[in-house]
Amino acid sequence: MDVLNEFHRIVSSPHQFARNWKANTGGKVLGYLCTNLPEELLYAAGVLPVRILGTNEPESVTGPYIWANTFCPFSRDCFAQALQGKYDYVDGISYGFCCLHARHVFESWKRHIPVQYSYELCVPYLQSPHSKTFLTREMEDYKNTLEKWTGNSISVDALDQAIDVYNKNRRLMSKIYDLMKADNPPLTEAEVAEIALSGMLIDKKEHNKLLEKALKEIPRRRSNSKHGPRIMLLGALTIILN
C-alpha cells in the first residue's frame, strides 16, 4: 500500500523531511525531548518541531559526557546522535521536564553542541491549586522566548490554527488506533508504530494529509498477518527507531 510505504520511508530516513523543509522554507527547526512540550506554541511561531528519537545503534562517543552505568541507553543514544552530527540541522532544543536522564541530555547538548536557542519548560507534577497558575506562567515565558528567538509574534489566531492542526492529528490518529480493535486488524502493530512515529518527524499538516489518505485505503485492505494475544506494555516514554 503506497501510503504505508510513505510512513515507512519517513521513519527510515528520520532527518530528511526536516532538512528539506529547512532548505525550502528557511525556517527554524527545533528538536525536543519528551512529550511534555507544547508543540502548538512552536508551530504557531513558524517553527518545525522534531522529536529527538533513539536509533538502537551501538555508540561509543557519550562516555566523556554521560556515565554509562548511571544514565539509560535511550538518553545516551539521543545524545550520541547529536555528537555524531545527525541533528546538525537543528537550530534549537527544548525540553519539558520528565526525567533526570533526559534533562542531562538537554544540559549536555547545550554545553557541548552549540545551538541558537534552548529552553527548559518546568512542568509541575504536584496536584495543587497552584499548579495551573505555575504552568500558565511557564507557558507565557516560553511563548515570549520563542517570539524573541524567531522574530515572529504568536498571535491568538496563529495559536488557534496550530491547535486546530494538532487536534485534527489527534482525531485522525484515534481513528487509526480504532482500526486495531477489529478481530483481524488491517494493520500490523509495527505499521501503526511507523504511522505514529512519522508524525513526530514531519509537519503535522503533511501528516494529516497522509492520515486522511491512509484512512481511505486501509479499511479496504485484507490483512494476512496472524495476530496473537494482545498485550499492553507499560513503561517509560522512550522511543527507539529500529
Enumerate domains of the chain plus CATH numbers. 19-154 (3.40.50.11890), 158-220 (no CATH)
- Tell whether the model's pLDDT for residue 5 goes beyond 80: yes
**Residue 242 neighbours by CB under 8 Å, 6+ apart:** 56
**Residue 167 neighbours by CB under 8 Å, 6+ apart:** none
pLDDT value of position 65: 81
Residue predicted with more confidence, 7 or 58:
7
CB atoms inside a 10 Å sphere around CB 146: 23
pLDDT value of position 240: 44
pLDDT value of position 156: 96
**Angstrom distance (rounded) from CA 141 to CA 179:** 40
Reported as a pLDDT band with limits 50, 70 and 90, residue 93 is very high
Considering the entire predicted model, what is its pTM? 0.89
Q: Which backbone phi and psi does 92 adopt, to 5 degrees?
A: -155, 165
Alpha carbon of residue 94 to chain centroid: 11
**Angstrom distance (rounded) from CA 126 to CA 240:** 29
- Tell whether the model's pLDDT for residue 67 goes beyond 80: no
Alpha carbon of residue 71 to chain centroid: 21
Residue predicted with more confidence, 129 or 3:
3
- Tell whether the model's pLDDT for residue 114 goes beyond 80: yes
Strand pairing class (29-33; 92-96): parallel
Strand partners, 95: 33, 120
One-letter identity of residue 73: P
Q: What angle do CA 157, 141, 101 make, to 5 degrees?
A: 115
Q: Which three cell numbers stand for residue 50?
A: 522534531
- Tell whether the model's pLDDT for residue 242 goes beyond 60: no
One-letter identity of residue 26: G
Strand partners, 118: 93
**Angstrom distance (rounded) from CA 64 to CA 21:** 33
- Residue with the three cell numbers 506562567: 137
**Torsion angle (degrees, nearest 10) of CA 83, 87, 92, 98:** -70
pLDDT value of position 238: 47
Helix (H) or strand (E) holding 108, with range, is helix 100-112
Reported as a pLDDT band with limits 50, 70 and 90, residue 1 is low
Strand partners, 240: 54
pLDDT value of position 237: 54
Strand partners, 134: none
pLDDT value of position 214: 96
One-letter identity of residue 106: F
